[in-house]
Amino acid sequence: MPSAGSAVRLSSLIMPAFGGELCRLRLEPVERYPTESLGSFFEPARVGTVYALTPDRSVGAARPPDRAEWRYAGPALASRLGAITRLRVLREWGRTADGSWQADRGLVLTDAGGGECIILSAPERSDAALLLIAPGLHRALLDPAAPTPPGVTARGLLGYAEWPDDLEITVELIPVDPRLA
């Protein structure tokens, strides 16, 4: 949830195509939400609420999330996410013998201090999107000329390591005015 404005849900959307699965980042406005039920990257102590059926399955019960992957346990990110000075869409272009595609796979956010973080769709069934506070190995997606460890490729980082050898993947960063986002 942003510090001001409307809440947005970020998730991965996966679709079968070209003999495999393609994924892209999905952004959905959350029209009505009880703010107290949402977790926060700005206030990590606010873990939100999960609604689950009780053991007798007759009523729902509100409880804090008990699975580690459902909450953020790191330091507050207000300094990183509160003042975005540059926003870019990470777009992949793929080509195989069977066809080609483009997909918006992530967002790259740059803070006032020049630090970058990535929100990246993940090729998993859970609809999870990854929040990478430090690009690390994923720096290869932001700067193809940056030195990377042997074997680290955009193709592998985007989940296509097992695809046929004829697959070509290129990545483009498309600027977006953060005031319009």
- Angle of CA points 28, 33, 39, to nearest 5°: 85
**pLDDT interval class at 181 (50, 70, 90):** low
User: What was the pLDDT predicted at 58?
Assistant: 60
Q: Tell me the C-alpha distance between 25 and 42, whole Å.
A: 22
Q: What per-residue confidence (pLDDT) applies to 77?
A: 81
Output the six-digit token pair for 14. 């996966």
Instruction: Name the helix (H) or strand (E) containing 5.
Output: none
Q: Whole-prediction pTM value?
A: 0.78
Domain boundaries, the chain: 7-176
Q: What is the per-residue pLDDT across 65-114, written as a single tens digit (0 to 9) for each? A: 666 666 676 777 887 788 888 999 999 999 998 889 999 999 999 998 89
Q: What is the pLDDT of residue 8?
A: 74
Residue 7, number of CB atoms within 10 A of its CB: 14
List b or e across 127-148, with b for residues whose CB sees 16 or more CB atoms inside 10 angstroms. Answer: eebebbbebeebbbbbeeeeeb
> What pLDDT sits at residue 22?
84
Which tens digit of pLDDT belongs to each residue from 114-145? 999 999 998 776 677 888 888 889 999 998 78
- Residue 155 has φ and ψ, to the nearest 5°, of -55, -45
In Å, how far from its chain's centre is CA 40?
15
Residue 67 vs residue 159, higher pLDDT:
159
Query: What are the tens digits of pLDDT across the range 13-63?
Result: 888 888 778 888 888 877 766 666 666 676 767 666 666 656 665 666 666
Report the 3 state secondary structure along 150-167.
CCCCHHHHCCCCCCCCCC
Please tell me the distance from the alpha carbon of residue 131 to that of residue 168, in angstroms, as a whole number. 25
